[in-house]
Each structure stands twice: as C-alpha cells, then as structure tokens.
Structure 1
Amino acid sequence: MFIVMSLGGSILAGDLDSERFKTYADAILKISEKHQLLLVVGGGVYARKYIEVARGIGADEVTCDFIGIDVTRINAKLLISALGKAAYPEVPTNYNEAALAFESGKIVVMGGVLPGQTTDAVSAALSEYLGADLFLIPTSVDGIYSADPNVDKNAVKYKTLTGAELVRMSGETSLKAGSKSPIDPIACKLIDRSGIRTIVLDGRDPKNLPEIIEGEEKGPQKECSGTIITP
C-alpha cells in the first residue's frame, strides 16, 4: 500500500525535541516495512513565529509563505536524519522531484512547495498525482469536529464525512500564511476531487499510526479512532 502522510509541524517539531523526531521515525520505519511512504512535513510553531516577525517588518504574504516553506524543509531534513538510510537523502522541492524520489523505493520526506499551499494541500495534491492508496493527516486532535473541541465543550466529533461535506465545512478557513486549521479548503477540494481514502487522526502519539494502517490492511474500516473521509 502506498501511503501519503501530512505531518504537521506542531505534531512533529512543536518543541524541537530530538526524541520526538526519533519516536516518529521509529513509527514511520515500522510502517515502511510493509508500505511505501511519502511524508510532507509542516512548519509548526516556529514557522509561525518567523512569519509573525516577517509581517511585523512589512513582508507581504507571499514572502511570508516562502519563509514558512523554508522552515518546513528544515523540519523535513531533521526527520530524514532521524530515519537514516531508509529515507531518500534529499528534500524534494516540487512535485516532479517528489515523483522522481518516490521511484527510489525509499521513504520520501519533503516540506512545502508553493505560496498559498499548506502541508495538507501539498500532501493531497501528491496523493492524487502519484495515486496513493491512503492519505493520513495526523493532527493535535483525534479527528474532525463541528467546532474547536479545545474551545467548545459541545463540539461533536464526526466519525465519517464525505469529501463534499468536508468542502462545505472548510468554507470559512483562513488562507493566510501560517494559518492553523484542521484541513485547509484547497486540500479539502483535492480530497473530494480525487476520492482518495483519507483519515484524520490523533498524531500526538505516533504509535497510533501503525495500528490505524494495520486496520486498513484488513479492509477499509467503517470506523476508527479518527475521522474517515470517503468519496
């Protein structure tokens, strides 16, 4: 099975702890024993800090996007180092480079690509472009909710959503550089268009990932610990 994973910077590099990178690398290596992996890593809190400074000195949003992309590529390089020889050694900087790296058979890790695209959007585009079997989005919550569960105690978690429902829910998401949201509108539209099976799950504990994938191997699950997005 070919799996694309959108790994948010806040999940992987929120505190820039080397042990966190090692723990995630261990989970990824375990998954790669049976499956081919391509990961797109986000910038997280440090990207947002750089972007805030850039805005403060008058940088436009495209420049802020490029700054955030640079941070995502640094995080990708750190994860490649943690994965060792199992990983493709370079960070692809565009979709064609990612496709070529994918042919190596190694774990491919990359960051952002273009201004205006979040980690999720890049991952969704690659899932469609390269024909992924499964698209995983580990986040800091255990799925998609009707509202922010950290703010609204009445927020309802969705066990399943269609791509069309996801697009409708994403309508009010900000597209500013460094925006923090469950899934951005562009990614939602790509997920809906491609029909690729997508799971939004709790990424705070990397050990969850092999378990989710093991369940998928036995046949597409009707339910899991996250939110399943179906065509």
Structure 2
Amino acid sequence: MRLVIKAGGCLFPSGLDTDRIREFASVLKRLRRDGHSLIIVAGGGAGSRTYIKAARELGCGESFCDEVGIQFTRLNALLLISALGEDAYPVVPESVKELKDYCQSGRIVVMGGLQPGQSTNAVAAVAAEVYGAHMLINATDVDGVYTSDPKTHPDAERLTEVSVKRLLEIVVEEEASAGGYKLLDPPSVKIIARSRIPTIILNAEDSENIIRAVEGDRVGTRVTF
C-alpha cells in the first residue's frame, strides 16, 4: 500500500523528545518491512511558530515568514531521516519533481514544506495526489475531527466519520475564529476532495494508532465522499 503520513506538531513539540521521534520511526520501519511504501510530511511544530513570530517582530513580510517556516519543517524532516537511518532516503525533497524521483528509491521519503503560502497539510495532500496514495493519514494530537476545537470546547463531539463537504465546513468555521484549531486547512481538504483520497485523521501520541489504521481498525476519523 502507498501511504502518505503527515507528522503533526505532537511529534515536534517545543522541547524535542528524541525518544518520541525514535518510537515514531520504529512504526514507520515496521510499515516498510510489511511491504508498504511511505512518504512522510513533517510539520513545523511549536518551534516553527516561535521562529515565524520572531521573523514578524523583526519586520519580515509574510512570504519570508513562510520561508522561515518551510526551512524549519525541513529541519524536522532531517531529524526523522536520522532516526530512520538506512530505511530513509537521505535527502529532503524540495519540489514535486524531487519527490517523484526520490520515491523511485524504494525507501521512506521524508519532506517538509514546499513553497510559501502552502501549509504542510496541503503538501501532504498534494504528495498523496501525486503518489496515487491508497491512504493519507493526518497524525495529530487529537483523537480525530471534532465539531469544534476540543481543547477549548469541552462539549465538542468527535466524529468517527465525516463527509468531505462537512469537513470543509468545519475547517472554514474554525479558520474564521481567532486561534481556531488547525487540524486541516481549506486547500488540503479541497485536494482530498478532488482526488477522493482515502483519509484518516488520528491521534499519533500513541504511534500504534497508525498501524491500526493501516490494518483497517476503526481509529480516529475517516473522511467519506
């Protein structure tokens, strides 16, 4: 199975946890040993937001701030490559062409952002589209898609399934609210919709949830079409 996994901020908190990264890498190695092909998209995490905030305070424009964030995601990708060792392709792709080329190696390809104005969630969706992925997994720090941000709304309900249309509505509603939770963004959902990419949003603080999802167990939230 061809898999694309977006590694969210839970893997890259402000104080890096190398044991957590090793644990995640061991799950990826198991998937590769089981015959799956993988692309991993590393998010920026809290560290990226800190650097972007500093760049803004120094008077940098938004495009430059995006570049700062992209470079940070690529640093996170390099950390994960280090943990994967020989299972990973040793270079972080910086374009779709490089992504396609590196995938020919048969090794796990780990990437970060690609271009200003594009989130790593959108990058993961593009990678899944280009790769013809059988599954896109958004590995985050919540148990799936909720009706609103569960961190600020205790009464938020988790959805075991969500239509891509409803998912877009939730994402747009949250994006419009200050500090809305950035589970996905509209561009990533639209890419998922146009290519009907099988997608699961799950809590990866237990990395075994990724294995469970690939094996067909009901974890997180499945996107329906």
| 8 A Cα contact 1:7 1:119, kept in partner | no
| Alpha-carbon distance in 2 for matches of 1:172, 1:52 | 24
TM-score (structure 1 length as normaliser): 0.92
Deviation at 1:60, TM superposition (A): 0.9
Equivalent in 206, 221, 225 of residue 227 of structure 1? 221
1:218 corresponds to:
none
Distance in 1, matches of 2:193 and 2:173, equals: 17
Q: Is the 8 A contact 2:7 2:41 kept in 1?
A: yes
Query: How many Å separate the matches in 2 of 1:4 and 1:167?
Result: 20
Cα offset, 1:172, TM superposition: 3.7
How far apart are 1:12 and its partner, in Å?
A: 1.3
SS for the counterpart of 1:205 is coil
4+ long deviations beyond 3 Å? 172-175
RMSD: 1.6
Instruction: Please state whether the residue corresponding to 2:156 is helix, strand or coil.
Output: coil
How far does residue 157 in structure 1 lie from its aligned partner after superposition? 0.9
Structure 1 residues 46-195: aligned runs within 5 Å: 46-174=47-175, 181-195=182-196
Q: One-letter code of the match for 2:221?
A: T
| Contact 1:2/1:36, CA 8 A, preserved across alignment | yes
Q: Which whole-Å CA distance do the structure 1 matches of 2:169 and 2:175 have between them?
A: 14
TM-score norm. by structure 2 comes to: 0.94
Flag structure 1 segments of 5+ consecutive residues without an equivalent: 216-220
SS in 1 for 2:215: helix
Q: Share of identical aligned residues, percent?
A: 40
The runs of 5 or more residues in structure 2 that have no matched partner are none
Does the CA-based 8 Å contact 1:76-1:111 persist in structure 2?
A: yes
> 1:39-81 CA deviation, whole Å, 9 max, x = no partner?
0001100000000101111111111100000000000001001
Q: Is the contact between residue 172 and residue 186 of structure 2 (CA under 8 Å) also seen in structure 1? A: yes
Number of aligned residue pairs: 221
Corresponding position of 2:42: 41
**Structure 2 residue matching 1:99: 3-state secondary structure:** helix
Worse overlay, 120-129 or 163-172: 163-172
Following superposition, the deviation at residue 174 of structure 1 comes to 4.2
Pair 1:12 & 2:6 matched: no
- CA–CA distance in structure 1, aligned partners of residues 131 and 219 of structure 2: 27
